[in-house]
Structure 1
């Protein structure tokens, strides 16, 4: 059984080098496409203290959290992790890596043997160093090949998602 778990942020965002307001976060857009293709449960990661709506303020907070290796509190997802064989984990690339809410979430779970398919949205940095850092922090999980989608193209990611998902069974052999 599969689940799509993601963190996304709406509000002011960087799109094609300009700060614009978006009503749906880019990672949420890609997560919805993946969940639809898989017929999987779609579960958002929701911080207890929301990130600022303003882009610059959100970036500053993300930098501070990364610098201090913070673990921002998140709402309980309300899922039974042991039910899922494959976890599709989505996040934006913040400051060259993953948002710290991802570490908060994963540290509370037993990941031994879980196949985790990471996907991220970005505006030019792809995964940055996030995959290396996630594998170092959570070596008990089986980290599968990921999908990086430019945020400004998230609403047009259907074909990229389809192609990525078509390869997953080959990777699991």
Structure 2
């Protein structure tokens, strides 16, 4: 083979090797970068998941008003909301429901809770919602503090009521948590979106 042709072929070979080598380096760097990006994304997701798991919204609602407030708070915080229910449901008829609720207050009866389908051990802060009945929390809230392990947790109470403020419920809540090593945060009267928005922003 003529010397000139061999030299040309050799030069082409060198160029091909250089191109292959550069491609390998770029591809390897891209793989490493992608792997690092995925790991960073997964770490962020894990951190975000851990952050949201520290807070939960638990609420008791019979007419749906407190449920709406709870869902609003849950959406703003980006956390889970769970309904608190009595094992024996209240009557759907308002007068009968009110009569039962009043009798529970008068007799200091703590109705049995339905199973709460959530593991609260992973949560540090609980936003606890309820309607104000007879100027105080429903007796089901007493049952919640009786039966659920809440040691070292922070409770942020919120209530819905046509006429009562959360301040009426706070003395009862303070009695419920006495000697239980629970932190009771200042509460919210969650009757409108503006009040909810302001309170959530201040207490995230």
Q: Which residue of structure 2 aligns with residue 80 of structure 1?
A: 119
Q: Which residue of structure 2 aligns with residue 48 of structure 1?
A: 87
Give unpaired runs (5+ residues) of structure 1. Answer: 11-24, 151-156
In structure 1, distance between residues paired with 2:174 and 2:76: 26
Alignment of structure 1 residues 1-173 onto 2, 5 Å: 1-10=54-63, 25-127=64-166, 129-139=168-178, 140-150=181-191, 157-168=192-203
Deviation at 1:147, TM superposition (A): 0.8
User: After TM superposition, what 4+ stretches of structure 1 lie above 3 angstroms from structure 2?
Assistant: none
In structure 2, distance between residues paired with 1:123 and 1:42: 23
In structure 2, distance between residues paired with 1:77 and 1:43: 8
Structure in which a larger fraction of residues adopt helix = 2
Deviation at 1:165, TM superposition (A): 1.2
In structure 2, distance between residues paired with 1:143 and 1:112: 11
Give unpaired runs (5+ residues) of structure 2. Answer: 1-53
Count of aligned pairs: 149
Deviation at 1:110, TM superposition (A): 2.6
In structure 1, distance between residues paired with 2:121 and 2:58: 14
In structure 1, distance between residues paired with 2:132 and 2:79: 23
Deviation at 1:163, TM superposition (A): 0.8
Deviation at 1:128, TM superposition (A): 5.5
Q: Which residue of structure 2 aligns with residue 22 of structure 1?
A: none
Q: Is the 8 A contact 1:52 1:58 kept in 2?
A: yes
Structure with max Cα Rg: 2
For normalisation by structure 1, the TM-score amounts to 0.81
Q: Is the 8 A contact 2:189 2:195 kept in 1?
A: no
Deviation at 1:60, TM superposition (A): 1.1
Q: Deviations over 1:66-95 (max 9, x none)?
A: 111111112111211121111000000001
